[in-house]
Chains A and B, each alone.
Chain A
Amino acid sequence: MRRRARVALATAGGVAALLVAIAVLLAQSPLTVAFTNTTSQSEDLMANVSQGVVKVCQREETVPSGITAIRLSLDSTFGPRVRLSIEAGGRRLVGATTGSGWTSREVTFAVRPLKRTVFPATLCASFHTQDELVQLLGTPSSSSMAARVQGAPLSGRVIVEYLEPGTATWASLASTIVHDMGLARAAEGAWYAYVALALMVAALTAALVTIRQELS
């Protein structure tokens, strides 16, 4: 096969793979919040922990059926490995682990869906930190309902979000995304998204034309 043909084939194959990947992504549904244990928009600091094995538990959780992920409001620069368990009626319903190195203000666990909604359940998260600071974020509550670290109550409950696959695909959300991208901008309008798309296509085209010209 001649060089020009090989480059053409590689370009066609690469672009086709890219288009297939985009199509697969657009056909998927983003996770949505099925239920959360708070209605507050703000998060307060419940505790700072930085030494030893930490086990934080809270009772009276509602775990909806069909969820595929659980999100906890923990904050760390490079968080430790965290184990999550949910128990109800003396039985362990959920066990999940997330690897170390997570960042920012939440940590997400992939879980197997439950067949029915469970209430009341006790959710526990445990981790080991040597010096790295981990912050527990939540909302204020009564002492009896508060989360407990090593058995001692905090000032409130750690925020937990129960996630399930949404019904809308990314493709069907496109018009909403286009609308939202134009909000809170220098000059509002859906054109922001279209300009971004045009720029991306232009950059892709310029790169592909350049590489084909150079390598063929």
Chain B
Amino acid sequence: MAWLCALVACLNAVCWSIVSPPFQVTDEPDHYAYVKQLADTGTLPNPEEGSLATEEAEVLTALRHSYVRFAPQHHTISSTAEQRNFRAAIASLTDSTGSSHAGVAASQPPLYYAIEAVPYLLVGGSPLDRLQAMRLFSSLFAGLTAFFAYLFLREAIRSSPWVWSIGGLAVAVTPSLGMMSGAVNPDAMLFAVAAAAFYLLARGFRRGLDARLAVALGTTIAIGFATKLNFVGLVPGLLLGVAVLGIRAARVSGRSAYRTVLIAACIGLSPVLVATVVGALSAPSGVLATKVQGSLLDKVNYAWQLYLPRIPGMPNDFPGLFTARQIWFNGYVGLYGWLDTRFPTWVYNFALLPAAAIAALCVAAIVQARQALRGRIGELAVYAAMMLGLLILIAAACYSTFPRRAASFAEPRYLMPLLPLLGAIMALAARGAGRRWGPAVGCLLVILFLGHDLFSQMLVVGRYYG
């Protein structure tokens, strides 16, 4: 069944890769530029200012990229004259090697880009050929994400096998997963690595920590470090998880269990060690390099209000904005392309109804299972720590541009590493409906998610080609 969830996620991401016009997904030109630089020259891009490789810049111009981006009223190429100009521009592209400039992508670790260099080099042809090949390859990560999310549910909710596929399929057809995995963006791989980490931890909590699991966990952490900086947000929770598993194992097998903890930690932290040795961490760049003003209390206030309603007495950092609703909920319901493609307002209001029903069912399931959950408090604390770490990381990044920009990095896709938890919420919601109606409710939940995905793709089609 995990494979079927993976298949659905892959098909969906491939569909998104076709629906999204070339380079019209957030930051895709920069991520393409990183791969191009790495594949063409074997060197990493430089975080300093510069311009894209001539070839890529010419393609973007031919696509009228900056005219279409951020402007939902502007469509992609449609007239015969525009098409003729486009063909002429593509036929006369300057064959250039990569540029050391890769915009916002430059400060990211290289693993995803190195993997994407394979389809880039294998396919050849024009940048559009290469981009499509890279997008297709990236779609495989959506499959891995759904696969591991299903396995996570299998370990985490063992007593109700019928809910596993509900959660797994809900993850598989999440529109943001499809959109990001159907584009060239390291988020695709990050989602898969994070889902694998959730699965391995859940497996550890069910079956205990042994040497094999320790190696797997350590390797996953190491891959995460090498995939995208955002993974750092999950690491405190992951290390806490390894520590808790180690303490549990020590109760059974004595002090030798701590050796497995050490194995996981050493493997997991090895990329940080290597980066320190080669000097890659000596000069933090991008958001990490930004000097942040304000007291600790200011930062805590800001982080709180970024996700939760303001408490009386706090300075108002988001005047007129209900962040939980307008940034996160509405963003999850529908914010595509370059964050410039939205549903009509009534859709976001309507979406509150199923969201409230799902929340109520989920709470009912938690109340029903409260006795069992009490015995799993350590495991739940680990998942909560992973979530909290990610939320703090996003808040810290957003605060770096505050108050000029209220929340520059507050994009729901940054929460997608927590997709297995979304799957768990859906699974619990189905369980909360009880044994009699649970399967039917679960079926409706999956269809709801399918509908959300379908209408999201139709929205994108209408925005760019309508």
Contacts and interface: CB of A to CB of B under 8 A. Distances in A.
B447 A11 contact: yes
23 contacts: A6-B440, A9-B440, A10-B441, A10-B447, A18-B451, A22-B454, A42-B67, A104-B340, A105-B71, A130-B316, A170-B466, A180-B78, A180-B465, A185-B132, A186-B131, A186-B132, A203-B8, A206-B8, A207-B446, A210-B8, A211-B166, A211-B443, A214-B1
B292 interface: no
B169 A207 contact: yes
Interface residues of B, number: 84
B443 A10 contact: yes
Contacts of A95: none
Nearest to A215: B439
Interface in B362-412: 402-408, 410
Interface of A: 3, 6-7, 9-11, 13-15, 17-18, 21-22, 25, 30, 33, 41-43, 50, 71, 75, 77-78, 80-81, 99-101, 103-106, 128, 130-133, 161, 170, 173, 176-177, 179-181, 183-187, 192, 195-196, 199-200, 202-204, 206-208, 210-212, 214-216
B15 A210 contact: no
A210 B12 contact: no
A53 to B, nearest CB: 12
A210 to B, nearest CB: 5
A30 B73 CA distance: 11
Contacts of A208: 446-447, 450
B444 A14 contact: yes
Contacts, number: 208
Interface in B432-466: 436-437, 439-444, 446-448, 450-451, 454-455, 457-458, 461-462, 465-466
Given A203-B8, A206-B4, A214-B1, A103 B342 contact: yes
B173 interface: yes
Nearest to B330: A101
A196 B8 contact: no
Contact of A18 (B8, B82, B447): B447
A199 B1 contact: no
Q: Find the residue from B7, B15, B72, B172 having the highest chain A CB count within 10 A.
A: B15
B11 interface: yes
Given A132-B406, A161-B73, A211-B166, 15 more contacts: A6-B437, A13-B444, A14-B443, A18-B447, A21-B451, A101-B321, A104-B338, A170-B466, A176-B465, A177-B461, A203-B8, A206-B4, A208-B450, A211-B443, A214-B166
Contacts of B165: 210-211, 214-215
B404 A215 contact: no
A199 B11 contact: yes
B19 interface: yes
Contact of A192 (B18, B406, B443): B18
B5 A7 contact: no
Interface string B169-208: 1001100000000000000000000000000000000000
Interface of B: 1, 4-5, 7-8, 11-12, 14-15, 18-19, 21-22, 62-63, 67, 70-73, 75-78, 82-83, 86, 125-126, 128-129, 131-132, 162, 164-166, 169, 172-173, 316, 318-322, 326-327, 330, 335, 338-340, 342, 345, 402-408, 410, 436-437, 439-444, 446-448, 450-451, 454-455, 457-458, 461-462, 465-466
Nearest to B316: A130
Contacts of A216: 439
Given A18-B450, A104-B340, A215-B162, A7 B173 contact: no
Given A7-B439, A106-B73, A180-B75, A186 B466 contact: no
Contacts of A195: 18
A206 B11 contact: yes
A31 to B, nearest CB: 9
A42 B70 CA distance: 13
Given A103-B339, A206-B7, A133 B405 contact: yes
Given A18-B451, A103-B339, A177-B461, A130 B403 contact: yes
